[in-house]
Chain A
């Protein structure tokens, strides 16, 4: 015979004063866990949210970032005529060579400088990246030292507001527009005209080539053909996959989240134990009565464990609620893949929230196990006699 669920649930509610601190403690632990993990989720999402499935990205073999990849003008010209590349209505191949470089810029809060990715992009390259939309001002004019800046970067760096000028490589650049990269990796970029970028940064070669494949098979063919061609030291990957693989930065953050959660939960388990022991202690007579009524030891055991789990689940839910206001909040750090500032958002997904609550329940069960065993072992007669 099982104890009715309402018994345990009402116990948690009736003794709210004693349990409040424990519930809040668990809530804070879960909030920290969820927040730190939501950073990792945000980083991964912005990486996996980047690119168009029809596009193929071509970079130098062995390079790990666009900024350290080189594609020579000649290699670019060779690629131009490949039949696997889709053509627009005028019959021109849909292919774009970009120049990606890093510039060091002062942060808006005066806290030093950080590297920012600058992408020199062609009109075709902009068409290939429909995720990027202009939200204020205008796009740069080819032939002028003008740039458009991601909305999210503009909030983090000095001199990135429309109308501002900043100096790099001996040139004054004017910010003429702000764009939104729809939570993709492009949110961490400054865009300018490709030829201007090559002139300003004195680049003989391009960094990467982006093409629209004529068909999914054609995309595969580009990749195999490049692997086979020893004269072209290049490698092709689906654009989506290329960015989705760039998640090195998320790993240490995940580790931090797991570690903190484990360390804090040790403290939380002790606290939960304290509360549950006190709860068992003050209910000695009640437990005796239950036993007399015919409830078995294991029922009592299960009942108290359940009570701890309910208590912790409430804490877990509260923790998720505490973390929720930060959902969508933009933050940034240095990406280990691009070696430049990457902007991303706290992302609290339903799965992450579930994980947080499950984690809380584990803490609750661990904390109530010993007190529950004690409750189950109470000798009936002396339990009834106790005051």
Chain B
């Protein structure tokens, strides 16, 4: 019998216990991966293509304060700006639903070709959108959810503006990280409200990434000390600003992960020492046969490491497969979109598993090292 078969035989001598230990490690590591992925997604939302060229302009007071429509020509004149569109939150509820299940924004229809170029749709739909005032485009996911197709009409009750509006679907777009939004025409909204001359935000596209800092500074400067001061920032900065509003959620998820890791260490360490205690007598015999402490420690370590590694492989592996190959946005009803398990997260979780294997081996190893051969041989189970 070689040393490695000896270790494997030992690890599997109580198959039920080995299985339970591996499963509890696997369950905990699955959860750990999931929490880390959720945390990453919350703090670093997926980036859409062309984001590096887009600028979000909001009222400096807060996102909810409107901007005057007359700012548009001033922004358009700023060198480096290739496209401008209003972007107004409508807050509509679909057919008497309790909450809002997808976001709707009023834009300039041309923006699909100039600013939001990552939203891809067929030419006929785009043409319809440009021509018909009451038309709208919806994301693929929303269309699938409600079984909507081009040509259908539907009504939204706004929670922000008085009354409701009826829309005709011009086309269905896809290709953005979150294909759920509905985009309709600002001029249609203006008509229904009696042209109040206000928009929610401006979104711009700049010519090149190098223009970005200069354009944002110029936009901010243009409206300084006016009645509606603005905050222009890159799409990324705007997204991150959104996340900072979530407040202490990040700390919460991070501390839960810590507790999970701690529980994991505790439980597996106890299982390991249970397994070792059971065969004190055997280890004493090994000692009597001339095996050294170092070697006994290696046996224990290898066994505990092996169990932890098996658990890690199952836990991390299943999380990886489920999250990276499953349709997570469908499973969570759109709360999470990509839920990507990155190599970094895999590495970190594997590190936790490795440490777990080592820590679990320490306590039993110490007691084995301390035991005298005579006492060990005397031990009953």
Q: Which A residues are CB-close (under 8 A) to B159?
A: 62-65, 68
Tell me the nearest residue of chain A to B157, going by C-beta: A62
Contacts A113-B241, A252-B335, A274-B271 known; A170 to B64 CB distance under 8 Å?
no
Contact A111 B263 (CB under 8 A): no
Among B27, B267, B381, the one with the most A-chain Cβ atoms within 10 Å of its Cβ is B267
B247 lies within 8 A of A115 (CB): no
A61-75: which residues lie under 8 A (CB-CB) from chain B?
A: 61-65, 67-68, 70
A112 touches B244 (CB 8 A): yes
A233 B162 Cβ-Cβ under 8 A: yes
CB distance from A230 to the nearest CB of B (A): 12
Contact B266 A64 (CB under 8 A): no
- Within B228-260, the residues touching A (CB, 8 Å) are 229, 231, 240-241, 243-249, 252, 256, 259-260
Q: Is A214 an interface residue (CB 8 A)?
A: no
The CB with the most chain A CB atoms within 10 A, among B21, B229, B247, is that of B247
Verify B64–A339 contact, CB threshold 8 A: yes
Shortest CB distance A337–B (Å): 10
B62 contacts partner chain A, Cβ-Cβ < 8 Å: yes
Task: Give the contact-size bracket for chain B.
Answer: 35 or more
Name the one of A65, A112, A267 contacting B24, with C-beta atoms under 8 angstroms: A267
* Beta-carbon contact of A333 and B241 below 8 Å: no
Interface core residue of A201, A271, A332, A333 (most chain B CB under 10 Å): A271
Is residue A354 within 8 Å, beta carbon to beta carbon, of the partner chain?
no
Q: Is B174 interfacial (CB 8 A cutoff)?
A: no
Q: Looking across the interface, which residue of chain A has its beta carbon closest to that of B247?
A: A333
Query: Which A100-115 residues have C-beta < 8 A from chain B?
Result: 101-104, 107, 111-115
A residues near B243, Cβ cutoff 8 Å: 112
Query: Does A382 sit within 8 A of B, measured CB to CB?
Result: no
Question: Do A334 and B247 have beta carbons less than 8 Å apart?
Answer: yes
Residues of A within 8 Å of B270, CB to CB, are 18, 20-22, 271, 275
Name the residue of chain A whose CB is nearest to the CB of B58: A104
Question: Which of B60, B229, B270 is packed against the most chain A CB atoms within 10 Å?
Answer: B270
Which of the residues A112, A267, A277, A341 comes within 8 Å of B28, measured between beta carbons? A267
Asked whether A168 lies within 8 Å of B30 as measured between CB atoms, the reply is: no
Least Cβ distance of A335 to chain B in Å?
A: 10
Which residue on chain A has the smallest CB distance to residue B18?
A274
Sort chain A's interface into a size bin.
Answer: 35 or more
B49 to chain A, nearest CB (A): 25
Q: Would you call A101 and B271 a contact (CB within 8 A)?
A: no
Question: How far apart sit A386 and B243, CA to CA, in the bound complex (Å)?
Answer: 62
Contacts of B28 on A, CB cut-off 8 Å?
264, 267
Q: Can you name the residue of chain B whose Cβ is closest to the Cβ of A70?
A: B162
Q: Does A286 contact B (CB under 8 A)?
A: no
CB distance from B199 to the nearest CB of A (A): 15
> Which of A25-33, A49-57, A134-142 binds B?
A25-33
Within 8 A of A (CB), among B186-219: none
B:331-381 near A, CB below 8 Å: 335, 380-381
CB-CB under 8 A from A32, the residues of chain B are 256, 259-260
Q: Which of A115, A273, A274 contacts B63 (CB 8 A)?
A: A115
Complex partner residue of B31 from A101, A248, A267, CB under 8 angstroms: A267
* Known contacts A25-B267, A273-B20; A341/B27 CB under 8 A: no
Within residues 42 to 94 of chain A, which ones have a CB less than 8 A from any CB in chain B?
Answer: 60-65, 67-68, 70
Interface string of B145-159 (1 = CB under 8 A from A): 000000000000111
Q: Are A278 and B274 in contact (CB under 8 A)?
A: yes
Inter-chain contact A28/B262, CB cutoff 8 Å: yes
Asked if A263 CB lies within 8 Å of chain B CBs, one says yes
Q: Which residues of B contact A334 (CB under 8 A)?
A: 245-247
A169 contact set on B, CB distance < 8 A: 60-61, 65, 229
Chain B neighbourhood of A277, CB < 8 A: 16-17, 20
A27 to B, closest residue via Cβ = B263
Is there contact, CB below 8 Å, between A332 and B248? yes
Q: Tell me the chain A residues, 215-239 only, with Cβ under 8 Å from chain B.
A: 233
A387 at the interface (CB under 8 A from B): yes
B123: chain A residues at CB < 8 Å are: none
Partner of A333, one of B23, B246, B256: B246
Which chain B residues lie closer than 8 Å to A170 at the CB level?
Answer: 225, 227, 229
Chain A residues near B264: list those with CB within 8 A: 267
Contacts of B30 on A, CB cut-off 8 Å?
Answer: 263
- Whether A24 touches B266, Cβ cut-off 8 Å, given contacts A18-B274, A170-B229, A266-B27, is yes
Q: How far is the CA of A277 from the CA of B243 in the complex (A)?
A: 47
Is there contact, CB below 8 Å, between A201 and B91?
no
Contacts of A332 in B (CB 8 A): 247-248
Chain B residues whose CB sits within 8 angstroms of the CB of A29 once the complex forms: 263
Docked pose: A31 CA to B255 CA in angstroms: 12
- 24 A-B pairs in the complex with CB atoms less than 8 angstroms apart: A21-B271, A28-B259, A29-B263, A62-B157, A62-B159, A64-B91, A67-B64, A104-B60, A104-B61, A114-B247, A115-B63, A115-B64, A169-B229, A201-B65, A263-B30, A267-B263, A270-B24, A271-B270, A273-B20, A274-B17, A274-B20, A278-B17, A331-B247, A334-B247
Closest 5 CB pairs of A and B: A112-B244, A21-B270, A270-B24, A267-B27, A271-B267
- Apart from A67-B64, A170-B229, list 20 A-B contacts with CB within 8 A: A21-B270, A25-B267, A62-B163, A63-B160, A104-B62, A104-B231, A111-B244, A113-B244, A115-B62, A168-B61, A170-B227, A233-B162, A252-B335, A263-B27, A264-B28, A268-B263, A270-B21, A331-B248, A334-B245, A334-B247
